[in-house]
Amino acid sequence: MANVVVVGAQWGDEGKGKIVDWLSERADVIARFQGGHNAGHTLVIDGAVYKLHALPSGVVRGGKLSVIGNGVVLDPWHLLEEIKGLRAQGVEISPETLMIAENTPLILPFHGELDRAREAQNKVARIGTTGRGIGPCYEDKVGRRVIRVADLADEATLSLRVDRALTHHNALRKGLGLQPIDRDALIADLTAIAPEILQFAGPVWKVLNDKRKSGRRILFEGAQGALLDIDFGTYPFVTSSNVIAGQAATGTGIGPGAIDFVLGIVKAYTTRVGEGPFPTELFDADGQRLGERGHEFGTTTGRKRRCGWFDAVLVRQTCALSGIDGIALTKLDVLDGFDTLRICVGYELDGKRLDYLPAAADEQARARPIYEEMEGWHETTEGARSWADLPAAAVKYVRRVEELIDCPVALLSTSPEREDTILVTDPFED
């Protein structure tokens, strides 16, 4: 039985939530493997809208096990609020349907305070973080001073971990003009919330390996997009975790050999939230039109997304980095009505043509897109569920995208509704 990894292949916001929900019907387990509640997935099911941040998209599907892996950083208070909100919408969440890895790092209030304080004082180059503490928590993980879910079960261990973290953070806070952290209040807050979090805790690595051996299908759900990867993204304007498909293994404790198919989610145009380079960004009426038609506002932050033409160079690059076997092309309907469409097929940098985005930040900022123009279409693609429902020009556009990114389309999404999907290759049956 195939196990599938779903990753964003642009700067996030590609429509992963709908695709993961669509695939979750075929899966037994849905696992998040990186990121935090800075991610945002919107699901539309039978007219009901669910907005998820920390929880895997599969949690709204009955009879599935949803997993938060060790590669995630978790704000426990936000998680409980998210669970409360979903329960109010009629979603059942219990230890039978949700498991959190025991070694998952916890985002604490001082992580968010540090995140926001540093961003506010960064006059050189703002990163554009969500200010939710994700970066500082990952820093503590690497610095071996983070508090993990399992630490909540033992008072002595928790006290030791808190002291180690505060030795570091209080020194930082002094330099930023922030008050020292109230140690006793923090421990009291963690002790109070511990039973609610620990009821979901378990050895995720063992459960996933056992599920695999018994023939269960596992769907690994990525957050953000590959161009925000800490190593391969547009550094430093990136997230603080590895976003590419290889993280699915280390972020859950399952070997890379367990991954059978990597599905990359790709929008039919390009968007980005926050700071950083964006070669195909549009500042004209076309960019405004893409944003309005695509409802381009962040699920988590509400921030307006920057919009631009499809960048085949970047997607070809991310497909290679994640070993993507097929893409799910989303929001094709947003392109309805354009007379002419443009696709970036290369960059011009200092008089030379490049077929990839270089790693150096100054070169990324200077890279200029080389476009190929294609005829648009005026018929609607919204709600199409077969190739026969698509205008000829739309099919031609999709086929050209496949050629340019050197990767086939496995699914084509034509609206937020999960049924409005054209299946070319079922990742679970490939």
Closest CA to 217 of 259, 262, 263, 265: 259
- Share of the chain residues as helix, strand and coil, in percent rounded to the nearest 5: 35, 20, 40
3-state secondary structure of 2: coil
Alpha carbon distance 273, 257 (integer Å): 34
**Residue 363 burial class via C-beta count within 10 angstroms: exposed 0-12, middle 13-18, buried 19 and up:** middle
CA dist 334 and 366 (Å) reads 28
Active site residues: 13, 41
Tokens of 95: 């230890």
Alpha carbon 301 to its chain centroid, in Å, reads 14
DSSP string, 68-124: E-TTB-B-HHHHHHHHHHHHHTT----TTTEEEETTPBBP-HHHHHHHHHHHHH--S
**How far is CA 1 from each of CA 94, 211, 215, 250, rounded to the nearest angstrom?**
26, 11, 6, 21
Q: Kindly tell me the number of DSSP H helices and DSSP E strands found in the chain.
A: 12, 18
32: which 2 tokens? 């998040």
- Rounded to whole angstroms, the Cα distance separating 99 from 65 reads 7
Rounded alpha-carbon distances, angstroms, from residue 295 to 13, 84, 166, 302, 362: 11, 27, 42, 11, 31
The whole-angstrom distance between residue 167's C-alpha and the CA centroid of its chain comes to 32
